[in-house]
Chain A
Amino acid sequence: MFAFPKIHSFPPFYTQQQNSTVRENQLNEWGQLILAYCQHHRILTILPSGTAMATQEEAEIPPLFENKLIERSAAPEFRRSILNHLIHKLDRAQYVDPKQQDAGILIFWRTADEWARMLYEQIEKTGQTNSVLTVYELTQLDELAAGAEFRNMDYNMLARIVEVLVRQGKAQVLRSDDGLGRIEGVKML
């Protein structure tokens, strides 16, 4: 059970504050709360409404942007400001597709660099460098590939992580030729 911080029960937390210094603090608090909440529930992608989209476990998850006990809920515009703060100020989230915001928001409670290092070490440890692994193998067959940390990982998140390794010259990818260019196979170098 995730223990919400005390501020989650503070009624004004759900109303965007007018004083700019206070608002900055408020948005930072929300940002930290989202990261802790997503980490606890292993949520990698959320909708703009705050609902978990892709999670690595199947447990019941309490709502993020509302607190029924005190009858408060953040308005849609305010949710957007909070997520924009997390994306642009704190640099811990990204739109899956900025042009299509309903496609979800990736939440980096672990940064892409941290994920990339973990993935590379896991492949190295299991002696699979230089062999081509499919996305299915990486995320579904944990005994074969990357381990529990990557099990059921959302494709969009995995793609971001692999792209980091490609930039670092540690991986090569095979992409689909259907025009979408989805990653199909990964080879660690």
Chain B
Amino acid sequence: MNSFSADRDIYLKIGKSLLDRHSSELSAQLAVFQSALVNFAAENAATIKKNREFRDKFTKMCNLIGVDPLELLLFVDSSLKKTDDFYMGLAVRIVEICQSTRDINGGLISLKELHSRLQDTFTVPLQIKEEDASAALRFLDGLGKGYETLTISDQLWVKFSGPAGSGAISYDERKIYELCTFTGGFVTHRLLRDNYGWDQVRAKSVIDDMIRSGLLWVDSQGPGGQWQYWEPSWISQD
């Protein structure tokens, strides 16, 4: 009975080490393959761009081994001259980042953070500069007021307000509603700072947004002349 159990342990160990070796070999092979693909993309950049059939096959190959073809094309572009295509590609990435971080930052992100997040998303050896990110932002101007670049105390920020009329409630908006239920219906900049540690910029951004979409009413007559921002469903509550 004992020897059987010991045998089983040994078999399990051997099995596991075989699996480990197999998977590390595979990922090494994949890495080699990916870097070969990068080189391939760099060498054949012109053909990939010009020849539609060639590009389709290339994209399929990228998908098969888990490489984002957009990234590769960006890489390819950056190694040549930085064209509109390159910035357009970056802009797509910026939209993705803004959307995925919106619920955390309320749609306000500094260009510095945006740049470093952008850099982090690349698996190919592609270095981009902050200026590249801000140049790419200009391509988003055409999409209306969704992406605004603001200068706040000498720093560039990007304000992402999402698709017009989107009913989604952000994390920050939810936090404001939460605070309203404690105070009997309103928030102030001071309350947001004391309870959540939000700085002026973040609080103002959310509050202004919510005023613009009719989610908050302004009241200039709080105690000591302090502005209060009221949640209007209060009117219909009993």
Contact = CB atoms under 8 A, between A and B. Distances in A.
B228 to A, nearest CB: 7
B186 A11 contact: yes
B87 interface: no
Nearest to B229: A12
A6 B234 CA distance: 10
B214 A73 contact: no
Interface stretch (B33-41, B43-51, B165-173, B216-224): B216-224
Most chain-A CB neighbours within 10 Å: which of B211, B212, B221?
Answer: B221
A22 B218 CA distance: 11
- Listed residue (A13, A15, A73) with the most chain B CB atoms within 10 angstroms of its CB: A15
Chain B interface helix/strand/loop/mixed: mixed
Contact of B214 (A10, A14, A21): A21
B235 interface: yes
Contacts of B214: 19, 21-22
Interface residues of A, number: 16
B235 A17 contact: no
Given A17-B218, A73-B221, A12 B211 contact: no
Nearest to A70: B221
Nearest to A6: B235
A170 interface: no
A168 interface: no
A150 to B, nearest CB: 37
A163 B211 CA distance: 46
B147 interface: no
Contact of B234 (A10, A19, A73): A10
Contact of B219 (A6, A12, A22): A12
A148 interface: no
Contacts of A11: 186, 219, 221-222, 228, 230
B221 A72 contact: yes
A15 B221 contact: yes
Contacts of B219: 11-12, 14-15, 72
B235 A14 contact: no
Given A18-B211, A19-B212, A10 B230 contact: yes
Nearest to A29: B235
A17 B221 contact: no
Contacts of A15: 217-221
A144 interface: no
- The list of the 8 closest CB pairs from A to B, nearest first, reads A12-B217, A12-B219, A11-B219, A12-B230, A15-B220, A15-B219, A22-B214, A19-B214
Given A10-B232, A15-B217, A19-B212, 5 more contacts: A6-B236, A10-B234, A21-B214, A22-B217, A73-B221
Interface of B: 186, 211-214, 217-222, 228, 230, 232, 234-236
9 contacts: A10-B230, A10-B234, A11-B230, A12-B230, A13-B217, A15-B221, A22-B217, A72-B219, A73-B221
